[in-house]
Amino acid sequence: MAEERSEGAGSAPAADAAGSASMAAATAAGAPAARGRVALGMSGGVDSSVAVAALQAEGYEVAGVTLVLQDTPEARAAAETAAGVCARLGAEHHVIAREELFERAVAAPFAAAYAAGLTPSPCVGCNAAVKLPALLAVADELGCAAVATGHYARVGHLTDGRWAVLAALDHAKDQSYMLAALTQGQLARLVLPLGGMTKLAVRAAAADLGLACADAPESQDICFAPQGYRAFLAERGVTAEPGPILLPDGREVGRHQGLACYTVGQRKGIGVAGPEPYYVLAKRVADNALVVGPAAAATLARVETGPVNWQAVDGLNAPADAMVKLRYRSRPAACIIVPREDGGATVRLREPQPLTAPGQWAVFYQGSTVLGGAVIEEVG
């Protein structure tokens, strides 16, 4: 595997809970060497807010950019908060509406995927298809050579000239999975100032800067469905039509509330009692059936993916050993990636893993480096 070449704040090896102190020290030592202008995606939360100061400490002139993806009270409040943070830290601020792009590239496909029985991972696609393209377009308008976000990950420029996402040094907060769909062109201009900091350091930095968001709780919901994904789907016409709950042998053991209310691999909330806990094994859209079974049946040895977005490598022409994450919060599992002629991959797992849902992303790693990623189309 090619070695990483340090690229400023984007792959800075800095970090622990002393992060806020190091920013303060850099400021006290005088102005850092100028790095040019950077357009930073600003949500107004603690991560993007501290990213402003981290970039300034690295010598960047920061232009905060709040992307309004839905015209809602929450979005307007976030833009106001981000503007206040930028004013406090001496950065300019811009509000850019991208509702139509977001609807076309994320919201509508999300609803369509659920209607097809999948469980999509919208953030991965949104970063590559909406946030980065929008930020890059604004950066060009504002004369910014680089763009930045508050993700916990790093960017590596490898010795063979390719770019790749690297895992954050804070493994508990690592968001490299969410950036697996980014292209070489996007990565070449991306700076990730929080990749070498822990969440504890970020909160400490926010407190030192006097930011109200220092103790703000973590956001856990899908950002575009604050009322919950079921209500969002209902608004899009994805109705919850009850149907049978079946065992693998076809016996009916109950009734489900609508396939969109469940995900493959789910254990709790199925509503069916048995001699041992049941897991969701499959969602059959054709006959509106939810298939459940015991834990012994809720494992997989193989997944089939759609076309792979390769990062650290240009592609594979032979099977390769790697680690794979089959959902955002899962542990990496050893696997063999077998490339297919259609651009997808067969992923053979070295050991059986808990079931994951089609629609999630399989993200491949070697060490801390993202090789690439793809949407899971089939589990087996």
Rounded-to-integer distance, Cα 22 and Cα 246, Å: 58
State yes or no: is 223 an active-site residue.
yes
For 186, other C-beta atoms within 10 Å of its C-beta total: 20
Which tokens belong to 336?
């063999």
Rounded-to-integer distance, Cα 300 and Cα 380, Å: 5
State yes or no: is 86 an active-site residue.
no
Catalytic residue among 126, 144, 261, 335: 126
Rounded-to-integer distance, Cα 51 and Cα 151, Å: 9
Report CA-CA distances (Å) from 340 to 324, 326, 365: 17, 19, 18
Catalytic residues: 126, 223
